[in-house]
Amino acid sequence: MKLHPVKIGNLETKNNVFSAPLAGYTNYPFRRLCENAGAGLCVTEMVSAKGLHYGSENTKELLFTTAEEPPVAAQIFGSDPEFMRRACENEALAPFPIIDINMGCPVPKIYKNGEGSALLENPVLAEKIVSECVKSGKIITVKFRIGVTGEKLITEEFAKRMAGAGASLLTIHGRTRDKYYSGEVNFKEIAAAKKAVSVPVIANGGVFTIQDGEKLINETGADGLAIGRAVMNDPQIFCEFTGAPRMSTYRLVEWQLKETERVLGERFTTVFMRKMVAFYIKGRRNAASFKARLFYCSTPAEVLETAREIFADET
């Protein structure tokens, strides 16, 4: 597929292959891996607008960044327009020029609280949230799904409302809320939204190979794509699109583990990197036995040593 920059407000990305936000994964070191592999834009894990307002320590940890990181979008969720605007103005979001509003999360806890994909059923409120957030002076983008169920697809109309309220870019996951992450991606719905608005549209869903990405762009006419779950198994998947050189898997683990420990601490790193290495060994010979060993590791050093054995052929 042809790479090109995407204009978002007054910013321009280096290319049109983005890393989608992933709750529990897209922390600072993980995003840096994606950026080094060529991702055009990375997004933080989603954070609660009310959590920001009340100074949640966990929320602050999710937003860790440094001046070394290229422009990143911070994703927030909530359903109260005023709280959402205050979140955009919060000091914790000062390093992030782009604020992405989550209107697609399908998780019951979020949905039942009227947030995430529940906003698809309340487009008037969704509009108010976007227009209020725009007042903060931040570049506002929206990520949403094509509907809550297949019986009521709202993509085109919702896209018009979000763009009309001031969103500078839309990312559309081509599945309904009830499908979560399974089933076919609805190319026609994304294509209809793309034709209906003048702001850039990023297509999301079902990209695990460069061929998947090319098909998604060709079928939808979208300005770019956002890769989600595939990044958990391979943060260097962007190399397939950009031609950036790959690190060996062991060197990737070594860098990620040390950087995660540096910024997020030993305890978090042990648990997080056990999970990450388990993703990275998927499909390898003896993966099940190595995965069992990983979850007995109690320090980052033990995780790294186990990874050294797993990826011995790459060290």
Q: So where are the chain's domains?
A: 7-242, 249-310
Q: How far is the C-alpha of 234 from the C-alpha of 236, rounded, in Å? A: 5
The yes-or-no answer to whether 7-242 and 249-310 have a common fold is no
Q: How far is the C-alpha of 176 from the C-alpha of 147, rounded, in Å? A: 5
pLDDT tens digits for range 1-33: 889 999 999 999 999 999 999 999 999 999 999
**Over 70: is that where the pLDDT of 48 sits?**
yes
**Over 80: is that where the pLDDT of 315 sits?**
no
pLDDT tens digits for range 209-249: 999 999 999 999 999 999 999 999 999 999 999 999 999 99
User: Out of 120-124, 245-249, 289-293, 298-302, which region has the weakest mean confidence (pLDDT)?
Assistant: 289-293
139 neighbors 99 (Cβ within 8 angstroms):
yes
**Over 60: is that where the pLDDT of 76 sits?**
yes
pLDDT tens digits for range 156-205: 999 999 999 999 999 999 999 988 888 899 999 999 999 999 999 999 99
User: Out of 100-104, 112-116, 292-296, which region has the weakest mean confidence (pLDDT)?
Assistant: 292-296
Six-digit token string for 28: 């600072």
Residue 160 C-alpha from the chain's centroid: 23
Which CATH topology does 249-310 take? Answer: 1.10.1200
pTM attached to this predicted model: 0.94
Q: What is the CATH number of domain 7-242?
A: 3.20.20.70
User: Once rounded to an integer, what is the mean pLDDT over residues 58-83?
Assistant: 91
- Catalytic positions: 105
18: β partners: 226
